[in-house]
């Protein structure tokens, strides 16, 4: 099955700095890579996703990059704000026609004002 | 749509008691997942239903855990008997592959077994 590794487990930045979270996956057949944000006391919510036919995708201050050859993908948040503080999860799915997302362990992002 | 609805939000029970967690997926979604979240293990998939049929239950910890989906709008996760190590946040999520592969999560049920 799929295995997703996520780093770092915690990330502390100053407001306005950039934050980068990296994930690797094991199944080369995976073709969909969503990123979720989980705020305290809530369930994870999708913030951005990328499919295997695209190398990069941007949405305002958030971007995701995908390197299929190396089997890794990253989340980039620019101009971080305190409200970006949350736990972020990467996931991979689609290998073998599977619709089950396999999640990374999560990154706790803290943005200091 | 109100999103995925889980109940209860919080549950405190004594060891040995039966616990039932409930989930109402988004209307029209045909895939449903139960996840368990702990600090030690992150988000673990417990079971995956497609069109009300359990497809993958390899993540169910042991026979004390069981899940059902009697119809497209309701699912339960039961733990009997409960143990302190079952304490965690349990999430239900639904999706509509292949049209939309995003998983929509409920607010979760925080279970504490004392």
* Residues A54-109 pLDDT 10s: 899 999 999 999 999 999 999 999 999 999 999 999 999 987 778 889 999 999 99
Q: How many CB atoms lie within 10 A of CB B67?
A: 20
Strand order in the sheet with A56-59: A4-7, A19-25, A72-77, A62-67, A56-59
Number of helices followed by number of strands (H, E) in chain A: 0, 11
Flag if B102 and A34 touch (Cβ within 8 Å): yes
pLDDT in tens, chain B (114 residues): 689 999 999 999 999 999 999 999 999 999 999 999 998 889 999 999 999 999 999 999 889 999 999 999 999 999 999 999 999 999 999 998 775 588 999 999 999 999
Comparing CB atoms, the residue among A42, A43, A46 nearest residue B102 is A46
For residue range A10-58, list pLDDT tens digits in order.
999 999 999 999 999 999 999 999 999 999 999 999 999 999 888 999 9
Flag if A99 and B95 touch (Cβ within 8 Å): yes
Residue with tokens 């599977």: A98
Flag if A44 and B91 touch (Cβ within 8 Å): yes
Comparing CB atoms, the residue among A32, A93, A103 nearest residue B42 is A103
Residue with tokens 């349990």: B90
Q: Please tell me whether residue B84 adopts helix, strand or coil conformation.
A: helix
B101 vs A: CB within 8 A: yes
Give the residue from chain A lying closest to B6, CA to CA: A43
Residues 24-43 of chain B whose Cβ lies under 8 A from any Cβ of chain A: 31, 33, 42-43
Flag if A99 and B97 touch (Cβ within 8 Å): yes
* pLDDT attached to residue B101: 80
List the structure tokens of A82: 């305190």
Flag if B42 and A104 touch (Cβ within 8 Å): yes
Residues of A with CB below 8 A from B107's CB? 41-43
Flag if A105 and B50 touch (Cβ within 8 Å): no
Residues of A with CB below 8 A from B26's CB? none
Assess contact for A73 and B80: CB atoms under 8 A: no
A42 vs B: CB within 8 A: yes
| Helical H segments across A1-113, by residue range | none
List the structure tokens of B64: 């004390």
| Helical H segments across A36-76, by residue range | none
Assess contact for A84 and A108: CB atoms under 8 A: no
Flag if A105 and B102 touch (Cβ within 8 Å): no
């Amino acid at each position: 099955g799929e295995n997703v590794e996520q780093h770092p487990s915690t990330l502390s930045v100053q407001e306005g700095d950039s934050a980068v979270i990296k994930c690797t996956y094991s199944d080369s057949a995976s073709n969909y890579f969503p990123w979720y944000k989980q705020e305290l006391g809530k369930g994870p919510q999708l913030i951005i996703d990328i499919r295997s036919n695209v190398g990069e995708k941007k949405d305002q201050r958030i971007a995701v990059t995908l390197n299929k050859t190396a089997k890794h993908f990253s989340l980039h948040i620019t101009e971080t704000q305190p409200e970006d503080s949350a736990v972020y999860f990467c996931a991979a799915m689609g290998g073998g026609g599977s619709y089950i997302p396999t999640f990374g362990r999560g990154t706790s992002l803290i943005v200091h004002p | 749509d109100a999103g995925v609805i889980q109940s209860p939000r919080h549950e405190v029970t004594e060891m040995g008691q039966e616990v039932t967690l409930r989930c109402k997926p988004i209307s029209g979604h045909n895939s449903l997942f139960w996840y368990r979240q702990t600090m030690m293990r992150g988000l673990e998939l417990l079971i995956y239903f497609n069109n009300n049929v359990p497809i993958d239950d390899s993540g169910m910890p042991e026979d004390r855990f069981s899940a059902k989906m009697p119809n497209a709008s309701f699912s339960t996760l039961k733990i009997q008997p409960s143990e302190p190590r079952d304490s965690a946040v349990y999430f239900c999520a639904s999706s509509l592959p292949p049209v939309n592969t995003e998983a929509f999560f409920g607010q979760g049920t925080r279970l504490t077994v004392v």
